[in-house]
Amino acid sequence: MSEFVKPITTSLIDAAYGCEFISRTALAEIYYLNTQYDFSAQSCNILAFFLMVLHHKMDTGDVCVKLEEKPIKDSVLQWISLLEEKPSLTDEQQIFLEFAKDFFAKKFSDLSDTLKTIAAIGSADDDKPLVISLNRLYLRRYFNYERKVAAFISGQSKKEIPESMLLKAQDILNLLFGKNNDGTDVNWQKVAAALPVFSRFCVISGGPGTGKTTTVLRILLLLRALYGLQPKIMLAAPTGKAASRMAQSIGLQLQNTDLDDKSSFTSVARELAQKCGFDFSELLASIPRNASTVHSLLKVIVHKVTPRYNEQYPLDCDILVVDEVSMVDLSLFYKIIAALKDGATLIMLGDKDQLCSVESGAVLGDICAKLSDSDTNAVSESTLRLLSKLSGYRAEKLLEEGALSDYTVLLKHSWRFKDVQGIGALATAVNAAPLAVKENGHHQITDILKEYQDNGLAYLRVDQKNLVKGSSFMRSLIKDVISSKSRYSYKIYLDYLCSLDFCVDSDTTANEIFRRMDEFRILCSNHNLILGDRNLNALIESEIKNRFMFGNKEFFPGKIVLITKNDAGLNVYNGDVGFVAYDGADEKKALKVFIPSEKYGILKVSPIFLKHYESGFAMTVHKSQGSEYKNVLIALSPKDSPILTKELVYTAVTRAKEWVTVVALEDVLLQACARKVQRQSGLAERIERKEIFSLAKKRVCISTEISSYSKKIPATDYSIFI
């Protein structure tokens, strides 16, 4: 390596370390590459800026960065503006500013041409640390994730199903979902259930109340009827809260033992058992009641890329159902498909319109990208023919709504909001924005907020003068949240705890407190500013302490606690929500944090052992994913920002089952609804191109027996793709 390169490059790296907005991971990578490759000073500095931009984009959810002038130079211009707005700069910041201005001034085509000549950047099939593909710059690992996910989806061949089994599946679908009547709308649940009959990968997307859980339970019955009781089924979701909700939803349907209700799960299960010669009790027992997090299912190891279950050691699972897939990032999605054994069926459920995962990627959105009302080419003729045959609907009728592809079915009809029309109308309008503008110039969203006032919706219209510290509006809002009988109040929760002297003596009492606590939640777009969860939590806590004279303690009876990091020693996990109360079963009646656990029932944890938590009266919309509440109050930041999107507003609205209260500046609300999340990746394009590449095979020995549902081959001869 040329000696003159290092001082020049080091000065840029050192200068960048003085800028808090630059990724430290990017700087470490630049330093490493500078020790491994012989760069000129100019090439290394150009590579440094591209890498810093790439990591900046990945930190906001992108998988890659497009090699176009706008995304690259916009990021650099943002850094220049941040530095120029500072009243004074350190020496390092001044040096970085000069480097950034020099980079920004260069012709982009020259920068791009230089980048493509750098030795650290390789092609798709080599092992260089960086890749340029589809005119996008990737880190090698994420390029491999994306390419393998696309290859998995594109390479899914249809199962070879004999005609007799197709006819049997058709009869069972009619039993599970009813026979079709001429002139009726398509039952998309029935169509979705037909897909896994011949496909080992399928995605069922739909909003709240569209029947995703109902559909998947009937799919499991269908596959049981076709393949017997041997297939091993597992259920999973990205977070503990989502897994708990999944198990709860399934449990509620299994608990409905009213056999006179012909549409109930148990009723159709009994009829199916009689038809197929199964023991009814055994059939019900074969449906799993518990769901785990994806991380625990795969045995993800902290600080290790590869989990315990992977390409070499796959899960002993024949049918894997994953819920809330919108929360699954690209890396985790790849780990899921990598852990599947040969012949396994993967069924994924989610709402494509919800917020994306926190980490890089928008996999569900990319998979569903072809679902468009005007796109009739999203589904192949062979898939359409099979779906038509199994569901009994004409192919032309299935194409009318454009709600399916070769591996995806969209459920559109929601039953949840039939009695509370305001929430459904608002959610639909938010999804349709920014096109939702009426001819009279009024925005449809504001019209809906007015039209459905007191019918599932309440809009607390505010202006900037209301949203200042100590304003009468803020004082009134916090008092209402604590003590009013309005929909947006914790009164029913706090009053019940007070009636118990804030003392909990049994799990039954704790569960009743949880029920009341979860009747309401405040969902915020941001952590900071006056309507951020940090400020609202502080104000609410102060009001409660004053009202009940609890003093100025960190933990006090009635405090809602949100766990922010997994702690396996305590058996508490990120996203768990509990409350603080006195332990009535303890002689000393010590103050404990009560946290629900699927595995252990009600956990009682001493506050001194909790390390990673925050107040949970208000939480971010991201934290609320996978949860549902009777009533929610949505608090949008008064300052517009890129994180305010229609996906965020839609996700917040659809957390509510009965009532939504919105606190927002009207212009900020409308700007948020007009902004769509645009995450950079090449996944949708690779799936569209049906990109398949030659995958090396590894033969591995699997200790678990492969059931008859998978290919009947010896475990020692089992091979999977890497």
Binding-site residues for ATP, please?
206-213
Do the beta carbons of residue 414 and residue 207 sit within 8 Å?
yes
What crossing angle do the helices spanning 212-227 and 265-276 adopt, rounded to 10°?
10
> How many angstroms separate the CA atoms of 238 and 326, rounded?
9
Kindly report the number of other CB atoms within 10 A of residue 676's CB atom. Answer: 12
Task: List the one residue out of 442, 444, 441, 420 whose CA is nearest residue 431.
Answer: 444
SS3 259: coil
Do the beta carbons of residue 28 and residue 36 sit within 8 Å?
no
Give the pair of three-digit tokens for residue 434: 């920014």
Sign of CA dihedral 511, 517, 523, 529: negative
Residue indicated by tokens 């468009």: 372
Q: Is beta strand 613-615 parallel, antiparallel or unpaired with respect to 560-563? A: antiparallel
> How many angstroms separate the CA atoms of 355 and 347, rounded?
20
**CA triple 434-633-622, angle to 5 deg:** 70
Which long-range CB contacts under 8 A does 435-441 form with residues at least 24 apart? 436/673
**Cα end-to-end distance, the chain, whole Å:** 35
Q: Is beta strand 520-524 parallel, antiparallel or unpaired with respect to 577-583? A: unpaired
Residue indicated by tokens 């009468």: 472
Residues of the binding site: 206-213
Q: In what order do the strands lie in the sheet with 408-411?
A: 292-293, 233-237, 319-322, 345-350, 201-206, 408-411
The overall longest dimension of the chain from CA atoms, in Å, is 84
Residue indicated by tokens 């029932």: 601
> How many angstroms separate the CA atoms of 221 and 176, rounded?
9
User: 632 φ, ψ to 5°?
Assistant: -135, 150
> How many angstroms separate the CA atoms of 397 and 413, rounded?
16
Kindly report the number of other CB atoms within 10 A of residue 530's CB atom. Answer: 18
Kindly tell me the burial class for residue 333, based on how many C-beta atoms sit within 10 Å of its own C-beta (0-12, 13-18, 19 or more): buried
> How many angstroms separate the CA atoms of 542 and 620, rounded?
20
**CA triple 236-238-241, angle to 5 deg:** 90
Distances (CA, A) of 48 to 20, 31, 119, 468, 571: 16, 9, 14, 42, 42
Do the beta carbons of residue 423 and residue 459 sit within 8 Å?
no
Do the beta carbons of residue 482 and residue 543 sit within 8 Å?
yes
Do the beta carbons of residue 394 and residue 405 sit within 8 Å?
no
Kindly report the number of other CB atoms within 10 A of residue 2's CB atom. Answer: 9
